[in-house]
Chains A and B, each alone.
Chain A
Amino acid sequence: MDQLIEELKKEIIEVLNLEDKKPEDIDENAPLFGGETGLDSIDALELIVMMEKNYGIKLQNAAEGKEIFKSVRTMAEYIKEHRTK
C-alpha cells in the first residue's frame, strides 16, 4: 500500500504538472481537492484518465471521482481494489 501511495504521488505530480511540488510535500491523508493543492475539475478528469491508462480502471461518470479522489490514500485504496493492470 505504501509503495502504491508513493507511486501515486509521483504520478499525480507528473500528470497534473505540479512542478513546484515534491512527493514529500503531499500528505496522503489530506484532501486532494479544495485544499491548498489548488486542484480543479480538469485535474479530476486528468486523474480519471491516469487511472485508466496506468491501472486499467474506467470510470463512466465524473461524479464517481469525488469519493475516490478524497485523498491520495482513498485513491490508492480504490486502485488496489479495482485495478486490472
Chain B
Amino acid sequence: MNYFADSLLAALALISSFDPAIYRIVATSVSISLIASLIAACLAIPCGVTTALNSFRGKKTVQHLLNTLMAMPTVVIGLLLYGLFSRLGPLGHWGLLYTPSAVIIAEAILIFPIMMNLTITAVNSADPRLKPTLISLGASPFSLAYHVVSVTRFAILAAVITGFGRAIGEVGAAMMLGGNIEGFTRTMTTAIALETSKGEFELGLALGILLLLIAFILNFALSWLQGTKS
C-alpha cells in the first residue's frame, strides 16, 4: 500500500512541478493525435456525409466493413504499416519508420473508420425531412452536404472528439512504428509502458493521471456538446 501511495504522491509532485520531461511527452502525444485526428476528420467527414446522403450499390457492405475496421486491433495496423514502411518494404524508401509521421499515419488509419461511421450515424440521426427540404429548396449536392453538416455539426464534432480520444490512448501501433524514441516519437502510452517496465512507476503513474485527465476533458466536452445539441 505504501508503495502505491508513495508512488502516487511522487507522480502528483512530478505533475505539479511541471517536469519538462513529462510535458514534452504530453506535447508529443497531443500533437501527434491532433494531426492524426485532423487528417482523419478531413477524409472521414466528407466520406461519411456522402455515404449517408446517397444511395448506392454496396452501401451496406461499406457500413459492415467500417464496423469491422472499428474493431481492428491496433497492433494489426502497426504490423501492416511496419511491413510497408520498413527498409525492405514497398514504401521503405520514404524513410518513415520510427518517425512521428508513421505514428500519425497509423493513428489516422485507426480512427478513420470510427469518425466515418459516427459521421454516418450523425447525418442519419438528423431530421428525415432535412434532406428533402433542402433538395426541394434547390440545394446543389455540395450545398446539401454543407447544410446537413451545419445542422449536425455537434454530432460530427463528437465523432471527431471520439476519434481523438481513441488516437491519444493508442499504444500498439505507436510503439511499433514510432519506436518510442525520447523527445521524438515517445507518446504518453508508450512512455507509460516503458517506464513501468523499467520500474519507474512514478513517472508512468504521472503520465497515466495526465492521460486520464485528457480523457476526462474530452468526455466533458462530449457531454457538453450533446447537451448543446439537445
Do A and B originate from a single complex?
A: no
A interface with B by C-beta (< 8 Å): none
State the B residues within 8 Å of A (CB): none
